[in-house]
Structure 1
Amino acid sequence: MIQKIWNYISEVRKTSPLVHSITNYVVMNNTANALLAAGASPIMAHAHQEMKDMVNIAGAVVINIGTLDEYWVESMRLAIRQAEALKKPWILDPVGAGATPYRNAVLKELTSIYHPSVIRGNASEIMALAQMSVQTKGVDSTHQTEEAIGAAIHLNSTTAAVICVSGATDTIVHQQKTISLKNGDALMSKITGMGCSATALIAAFCAAHPENLFEATAAAMALMGVAGQKAAAMAKGPGSLQMHFLDILSTLTEEEFTELLILEETYASI
């Protein structure tokens, strides 16, 4: 499995898939740079008039609800409809799920009327999205990954989306399969937009590998975790971590990746 995941990483670097992100003001620069460093190409547009055209040329779409407003929600609808019409993957990042009734209402629409290919969030966001009764602390998780596995299984069964719960352990759930990744570093939580960068990388990998979104998601999170772990070992704090993280996304070798990756897969009933 580790060799297969590295092949996914190599393919993204070779093909440079274009990712169209409808994302939030806070993380645009971070996620664009993460995509570029991993070998993908970012584009971020919100005008209603160009949504269809942007989706036409993109390999995948990111829908990130971090800074919601009514205009952007309509942009999201237009992009999602076009992605689904063209059978292109779109990835939902339910930033701050459970924080406000408006945010919950938008998420309910996006997951009940439309069909996300992948949903990535922290444990609290995934639990809130599954139950709509968990109060989150802004965009920060107040729960551990292990607490959200039941919610992830429920979301997978109700939406058919691959579910990724990110945290100290990243767990990807789909049908009767799970992959858990235990890389990364606690210092990553001190940089805004790391989770959003993970979602953007998932989109790039899904664009390059639409035939297996489960493995594509796992590969993106594996790259994210290993790069973050190596960067933290070199960093003096959050600022230098971000710099090293981008460098390692770009320069990571197969030998370094294979040596560090900690992966556990289960293909039995969960």
Structure 2
Amino acid sequence: MDFNKDTATRAVQDSFRETPDPRLRELLDALTRHLHAFVGEVRPTIREWEQAIEFLTAVGRACTDTRQEFVLLSDVLGVSMLVETLNESEGGTESTVLGPFHMVESPPRALGDSIDLVGEAQPCLVSGRVLSSDGTPLPDAEVDVWQCDEKGFYDVQQPGVQPSGNGRGLFHTDPEGRFRFRTVVPSHYPIPTDGPVGRFLGATRRHPYRPAHIHFIVRAAGHTPLTTHVFVAGGPYLESDAVFAVKQSLIVDFAESGDEEEAERNGVQAPFRHAEFDLILSREPT
């Protein structure tokens, strides 16, 4: 078969006919079909295609042990959120993107511990329950938490400035499915713009900002793991998140409290900020 614009797609698809894994064969078939259709529609010049390859090469080279530029690219193109949405389990808390900063293991912490290792301005208490979709509390559920500081930086972005593990914690719920920890209210922040994804945003005149949020990964036996955020109500960029991750159900009020007794019980000083919410997991299909 001559390889030309009319036969190219079928020729490549046929080359995958002997792929033993049927799902892999399906994915490659669809990838070839859509990629060839894209090229046929926009008809890139040879130099434009070279530039595309150079861009992807630069994205790969920007990845390190503490930075995932390809995740960032997936995020700003909305692909990460689309994959999350397509795979979302019914009946549970809505999911959002993992993000590029879950690069290190969160240190195990006891309930009530602080994940703020710097001692920044106003303390914040975060508390709630992990529940099954039928409302049953889930004891000993794993709650993995990470966030930026009050200035908008994660610990991995400021080695030598922030202690390793700042803003991170791995907790387990109590017998009633409750979790709690002390922290600070995170800031909105720009995603990294000093690499190829940042240059891409600049070329398209898109801002790089994310609204303030705390990340969670929650796991419990017999349930589908949940990756989500909690967004700080009232902050900027809730309507224009650079990675398209905001869902209304995940916006939570971090209200100021002057309750001295509650402050003493939780090891903070009044006034403090308090966010309380439930994280709901869907049962794994049987």
Is the radius of gyration larger for structure 1 or structure 2?
Answer: 2
Q: Considering the TM-score relative to the shorter chain, is it more than 0.5?
A: no
TM-score when normalising by structure 2: 0.24
Q: Where is the strand percentage greater, Structure 1 or Structure 2?
A: 2
TM-score, normalised with respect to structure 1? 0.25
More helix by share: 1
